[in-house]
Amino acid sequence: MILDCAVIGGGPAGLNASLVLGRSRRNTVLFDDNKPRNSVTNESHGFITRDGINPKELRGIASEELDKYPDVEIKRQRVINVTKKDQLFMIETDDEEVYKAKKVVLATGLKEKLPDINRINYFYGISIFSCPFCDGWELRDRPLAVIAENSRAFHMAKVVYNWTNDLIVSTNGSQILSIDEKNVLKKKGIKIYEQKISSLIGDNGYLKNISFEDGTTLSREGGFIVPELEQSSSIGEVLGCEFNNQGAIKTDGIGRTNVEGVFACGDTSIIAPSQLIIAAAEGSKAAIGVNAALVEETF
Ligand SMILES: Cc1cc2nc3c(=O)[nH]c(=O)nc-3n(C[C@H](O)[C@H](O)[C@H](O)COP(=O)(O)OP(=O)(O)OC[C@H]3O[C@@H](n4cnc5c(N)ncnc54)[C@H](O)[C@@H]3O)c2cc1C
């Protein structure tokens, strides 16, 4: 059987794309290997009607909603390769199945590389986060740290200051702040720690102290990091999709990439701002794009 569409990635982008495709009576398989970017956190914020929801619960509700649509099937498999032959896509999964589809939606999301700091994974998603719009409210007015080893440290500090003025910046051994940036931060009362962090200290994921290699210890209750981001799948690259300078797959207003028949949505095509509601909306747009292309081909 030839599918109308293969959706690869079952986060909010792929799930919403599948919902709209199912409602458009398009024969769709959604492939997902269940490694979402936000799996480290227990609460998601900022999605109206779902503020504070557990990310797993959000996905669970979405899967139940998709169950209503007979044209949508979910396969809990990783897609390991996609090739285009004539106008059809061959989708190969890690259980050695091959599916054929007329269109492909890439909704594979991003992977994060956290700063190289002892125990950072223990705190990430509980008291240390990467998106102030997602988790700033919960940390408001607390003593916080921006921990960043790259040039986005200054920008992150400016943004986080909106939620607390008890703020420090740690560059963990990097010299990334210019003299002008340092002066602006100092004027706001934001202290800068350029020495390397030796350890993050706290219990159950809740940060209490930051220890530096020079022996300084600082009391902090949470913070924001600036992770390095990369695509969690190379399928877009292998298919020949163009990327923008942030590393996102370039798309138009309805998710079309430069490769005919390949659509992209969610974090895969919008590196920032990355939000569940934006990913879901992009999924909806990509599905409308797929539907429009199929209509044009068959009507
Ligand atoms: C710590 C943290 C907290 C966050 N908190 C919030 C918040 O409170 N509010 C908010 O709006 N946003 C939050 N975000 C951002 C949010 O998680 C992302 O913007 C959102 O998940 C993007 O959705 P997506 O569908 O594009 O990708 P994802 O949710 O990452 O989903 C991609 C899916 O594709 C699958 N996949 C990848 N490659 C393949 C493959 N080859 N085959 C099959 N499946 C594949 C993955 O396993 C994954 O399930 C947070 C992010 C992090 C890291």
Atom 51 of ligand 1 has which residue's CA nearest to it?
Answer: 38
The CATH T-level fold of domain 115-225 is FAD/NAD(P)-binding domain (3.50.50)
State yes or no: cis peptide before 12, omega within 30 of 0. Answer: no
Q: 108 in ligand 1 pocket by Cβ < 6 Å? A: yes
Task: Using the structure block, give the residue that is written with the tokens 């990327």.
Answer: 243
Determine what percent of the chain is predicted with pLDDT higher than 70.
100
Q: If you average pLDDT over every residue of the chain, what do you get? A: 97
Where are the chain's structural domains?
2-112+228-298, 115-225
Query: What's the confidence (pLDDT) of residue 163?
Result: 98
Q: What is the mean pLDDT of residues 289-294?
A: 98
Q: 212 in ligand 1 pocket by Cβ < 6 Å? A: no
Closest Cα to residue 8, out of 109, 90, 80, 106? 106
**What distance in Å separates the CA atoms of residue 16 and residue 66, rounded to the nearest whole number?**
9
Query: What's the confidence (pLDDT) of residue 119?
Result: 92
Task: Using the structure block, give the residue that is written with the tokens 């919960």.
Answer: 138
* Per-residue tokens: 216: 């300084």
Question: Burial, 56: exposed, middle or buried (Cβ in 10 Å; 0-12, 13-18, 19+)?
Answer: middle
Question: What pLDDT band is residue 45 in, cutting at 50, 70 and 90?
Answer: very high
Domains 2-112+228-298 and 115-225 share a fold: yes
* Highest CATH level, class, for 2-112+228-298: alpha beta
- Residue pair 95/222 in contact (Cβ under 8 Å)? The answer is no
Q: What is the mean pLDDT of residues 1-15?
A: 97
Q: 130 in ligand 1 pocket by Cβ < 6 Å? A: yes
**What distance in Å separates the CA atoms of residue 34 and residue 232, rounded to the nearest whole number?**
12
* Per-residue tokens: 160: 């986080």
Query: What's the confidence (pLDDT) of residue 3?
Result: 98
Name the residue of 16, 270, 274, 277 whose CB sits within 8 Å of the most ligand 1 atoms, as the mutation to test its pocket.
274
Q: What is the mean pLDDT of residues 46-59?
A: 97
Q: 30 in ligand 1 pocket by Cβ < 6 Å? A: no
Beta-carbon contacts of 238 under 8 Å, excluding residues fewer than 6 positions away, are 81, 82
Q: 255 in ligand 1 pocket by Cβ < 6 Å? A: no
- Residue pair 294/288 in contact (Cβ under 8 Å)? The answer is no
Query: What's the confidence (pLDDT) of residue 248?
Result: 97
Which pLDDT tens digit goes with each residue over 77-102? Answer: 999 999 999 899 999 999 999 999 99
- Residue pair 31/9 in contact (Cβ under 8 Å)? The answer is yes
Instruction: Supply the DSSP string of the chain, one letter for each residue.
Output: -EEEEEEE--SHHHHHHHHHHHHTT--EEEE--S--GGGG-S-B-SSTT-TTB-HHHHHHHHHHHHHT-TTEEEE---EEEEEEETTEEEEEETTS-EEEEEEEEE---EEEE--S-TTHHHHBTTTEES-HHHHTGGGTTS-EEEE-SSTTHHHHHHHHTTT-SSEEEE-TT-----HHHHHHHHHTT-EEE-SPEEEEEEETTEEEEEEETTS-EEE-SEEEE--EEEES-SHHHHHT--B-TTSPBP--TTSB-SSTTEEE-GGGT--SS--HHHHHHHHHHHHHHHHHHHHHHH-
Question: What pLDDT band is residue 195 in, cutting at 50, 70 and 90?
Answer: very high
Name the residue of 120, 276, 284, 285 whose CB sits within 8 Å of the most ligand 1 atoms, as the mutation to test its pocket.
276
Question: What pLDDT band is residue 49 in, cutting at 50, 70 and 90?
Answer: very high
Query: What's the confidence (pLDDT) of residue 160?
Result: 98
Question: What pLDDT band is residue 284 in, cutting at 50, 70 and 90?
Answer: very high
Q: What is the mean pLDDT of residues 108-115?
A: 94
Q: Can you name the residues that pair with 101 across neighbouring β-strands?
A: 3, 89
- Residue pair 4/268 in contact (Cβ under 8 Å)? The answer is no
Question: What pLDDT band is residue 295 in, cutting at 50, 70 and 90?
Answer: very high
**What distance in Å separates the CA atoms of residue 210 and residue 171, rounded to the nearest whole number?**
13
Question: What pLDDT band is residue 14 in, cutting at 50, 70 and 90?
Answer: very high
Query: What's the confidence (pLDDT) of residue 20?
Result: 98
